[in-house]
Amino acid sequence: MLRSCLVSAALLAASTLPLSAQPLQCASRSKVLDMLSADAQTRHAIGLAGQAVMEVFAGPNSAQWTITVTLPDGRMCLLARGTAFESVFENVPIQGVPS
């Protein structure tokens, strides 16, 4: 359930912004969390990516969403932002496993 949400978040992050064309926007974790809090965004998903932590935040009524990564040095970087967030919990079978 959470796995499919994280996979969806990663796919959205990869397709939403041309990351190679833009430098990552990073600041201290506390500053980024303050910014997200000001937008009334709360954490909806979390996952590990090596030594970094990926998180998905979303606001009430699907107003806004943000995908971040927190690096081991404490910086939190914005990977993608958008609107019309929807939580989807699906049981997607793994390929090759009968459903």
Structure tokens at 88: 């989807």
Per-residue pLDDT at 85: 87
User: What single letter denotes the amino acid at residue 27?
Assistant: A
When comparing pLDDT for 71 and 10, which is higher? 71
- Domain ranges across the chain: 2-15+25-82
Which of helix, strand or coil describes residue 18? coil
Per-residue pLDDT at 21: 56
Average pLDDT of the chain, as a whole number: 80
Q: What is the pTM of this model?
A: 0.69
When comparing pLDDT for 87 and 4, which is higher? 87
Could you tell me the pLDDT band of residue 99, with boundaries at 50, 70 and 90? low
81: pLDDT strictly greater than 50: yes
